[in-house]
Structure 1
Amino acid sequence: MKYINEIDSEGFAIIDNVYSENEIEKIISEIEKVTETENRNATFRKSEDLFAIRQFHKEIPATLKYIFNHNLKEIIKSIFGEGYFITKSIYFDKPEKSNWFVAYHQDLTISVDKKVETENFENWTNKQNQFAVQPPKEILEQNFTIRIHLDKTTKDNGALKVLNKSHAKGIVRTENIVIENETESICEVEKGGIMIMKPLIFHASSKTTNNERRRVIHIEFSNQKLPNQLEWSEKEYFELN
């Protein structure tokens, strides 16, 4: 598939027309069934600038039959192969007047079921009964993320910015990246399209300036077994056939 080289080389790729209008509306409908009622679950975060649902695939599993449509299954199979599973998922709803922005960073942590001191697993945290840790870069290098766009996303409503090829540098302290020396891309994605990215690519997003909503489902994948009896805490398999 043509996107394999692009992901390996640049660290990301954008694929439009993965979902039909009807499929997007069904996903949105399932989300709204849950979010229309007051929910005090710790995985739900709400502010003026952002509404987010962590462990999205577990909180709203009814969306999965629409998310893993024929197109997405074929994309995963042809680019990455079989044996992958979900390791983390987050739903982001960035309101029309949001001032929320995220500075350049790499996605360096994974969610695990417990804390076990393990060689080269660093920077442990525990938030809302969820353990996170930074694994060796070899694990992060093999993982990938798919961002599903439920709205048209442009530079004016918080499309991701990435530094091309930065995933190939390994784990780098942010202050050691000179953005002016890097090639920056703004990842505009049509409604129903996806962005595939490597966790180690430096990425950021800006404030909304056009009063347009931006809803994205962020799903991380791996096919790796963790050492020392550690397990992915959000691990969930899906059918590719």
Structure 2
Amino acid sequence: MEYVDPAEGRPRLPQEYVDRGQLKESGFYIEKNLIGPATLASLKGLAKEDAVAEEGRGGVRNLLDVAAFRELAESAPLLRLVRGILGDEAFIVRGILFDKTSNSNWKVPWHQDVTIAVTNRIDADGFGPWSIKAGVLHVQPPANVLEKMISVRIHLDDCPAENGALRVLPVTHRQGKLGQAGIEAEVSRGVPVTCEAKAGDALVMRPLLVHASSPSSAPNHRRVLHFDYANVELPNGLEWRERQVFSFRELVERG
């Protein structure tokens, strides 16, 4: 079952989920108009020119290696938003571009985001398994690390349900890390919400929130900049690959 607009007969986002206060309760909310039209136009150009999609998929990892995308992720408006949630020492840890088109279209089953990008492999309790994605070392940390993270998904294009909008199961971020059986149990009893968004809107969500997306049925781009932020130290000398912390003075100077 999904929330459906009786006038249109289609999934919709209930109004309460555009309230930042819902993040703690539900695990997500929509930040409206986070990015303005001029910046959107620039970002669309950069997404086309500077990012090369992974073979066979509409995704680009290591997005923060592109200076303009790192600048956006570390801009004052985004850091203020994130630090209002995670605290004043929060920092960017990963950037990914997703783009669903008629030529690069896929379904993402129900899951949680449970991997982080690190610089080195060091054994630590609760960390594993390890993997390599786009040449970068990743590992699954324990839940107490993921609980101190937030994801900001900035929509570069309008994203109605038919364009592969993300679907989420509210409150499931409170269940910790779930195995496949646990995820299936949440899906069987949960009420999905389809997070339709306009270009410039951002979906702010907890990584442990169970979510999925369907293939796009529209012949349009569905470009999303996915930024992960954290405010937690890793143990035993493990290091975040993209960590960079700014002082309050530096934040002000960045505008």
TM-score after normalising by structure 2: 0.83
TM-superposed CA distance for 1:81, in Å, is: 2.8
Q: How many residues align?
A: 230
Match of 2:95 in 1: 89
Percent identity over paired residues? 31
Counterparts of 1:182-221 in structure 2, within 5 Å, are 182-221=190-229
1:18 alignment partner, SS class:
coil
Match of 2:55 in 1: 46
CA distance in 1, matches of 2:151, 2:78: 13
For each residue in 1:181-228, what CA deviation from the matched residue of structure 2 results, as whole angstroms up to 9, or x when unmatched?
112100111100100010100010001112221000001001111110
Which moved further from structure 2: 147-156 or 130-139?
A: 130-139
Q: Match of 2:180, as an amino acid? A: T
Q: Match of 2:55, as an amino acid? A: K
TM-superposed CA distance for 1:149, in Å, is: 0.3
Contact 1:31/1:63 (<8 A) preserved? no
Of 119, 124, 128, 1:118 maps to: 124
TM-superposed CA distance for 1:156, in Å, is: 0.4
Match of 2:15 in 1: none
2:237 pairs with 1:232 = no
Contact 1:149/1:189 (<8 A) preserved? yes
Change (3 A) 1:56 1:237: farther
Contact 1:53/1:90 (<8 A) preserved? yes
1:77 alignment partner, SS class:
helix
Q: Match of 1:56, as an amino acid? A: L
CA distance in 1, matches of 2:141, 2:71: 30
TM-superposed CA distance for 1:87, in Å, is: 0.9
| TM-align CA RMSD | 2.0
Segments of 5+ residues of structure 2 without an aligned counterpart are: 1-17
2:158 pairs with 1:152 = yes
CA distance in 1, matches of 2:251, 2:102: 35
Higher strand content, 1 or 2: 1
CA distance in 2, matches of 1:26, 1:127: 27
CA distance in 1, matches of 2:119, 2:81: 29
TM-score after normalising by structure 1: 0.87
Match of 1:12 in 2: 28
Displaced runs of 4+ in structure 1, greater than 4 A?
A: 66-70
Match of 1:170 in 2: 176
